[in-house]
Amino acid sequence: MRADKRRRLERAGWTIGNAGDFLHLTDDERQFIDTKLALAEGLRHLREQLGMTQTQVAKRFGSSQSRVAKMEAAHRTVSTDLLLRSLFRLGANQRDVARFLNQKSRVHAA
């Protein structure tokens, strides 16, 4: 992995010291992170397709813009429960979610 991916993970709240540390993640932890990132990206795409701002989405969710930003960043304080519920609230269905997961992972082992 290089800088771009690294930055994404760090922005997502994963405390990563360096690439070496990253490699300490077990395979299943990596897959879990990939899954979260996939859902987060799906949420962002869905919102953009709907032509909504994070603030508008937040209002619809009864949440705040900052939480929506964190959802889309797959921040560590955001659970997959929240991501899934949010996707469904924006009109996605299980098949859509499955499609997001099958999309090639955006983060690969270094």
Partner DNA sequence: TGCAGATATGTCTAATCTGACATATTATAG
Partner DNA sequence: CTATAATATGTCAGATTAGACATATCTGCA
Min. distance of Cβ 56 from DNA in angstroms?
8
Q: Which is nearer to DNA, 56 or 105 (CB)?
A: 56
Q: What is the DSSP string of 40-81?
A: HHHHHHHHHHTT--HHHHHHHHTS-HHHHHHHHTT-TT--HH
Q: Which is nearer to DNA, 25 or 82 (CB)?
A: 82
User: For residue 97, which of 61, 30, 45 has the smallest C-alpha distance?
Assistant: 45
User: For residue 64, which of 72, 75, 56 has the smallest C-alpha distance?
Assistant: 56
Q: Which is nearer to DNA, 77 or 102 (CB)?
A: 77
Min. distance of Cβ 97 from its own copies in angstroms?
6
* Interface positions, 17-56, toward DNA (CB under 7 A): 53-55
User: At a CB cut-off of 8 Å and minimum separation 6, what does 42 contact?
Assistant: 87, 92, 96, 97, 100
**Residue ranges that bind its own copies, judged by CB under 8 A:** 27-29, 31-32, 34-35, 38, 79-81, 84-85, 88-89, 93-95, 97-99, 101-102, 105
Residues that bind DNA (CB under 7 A): 11, 53-55, 58, 61-67, 69-70, 72-73, 75-79, 81-82
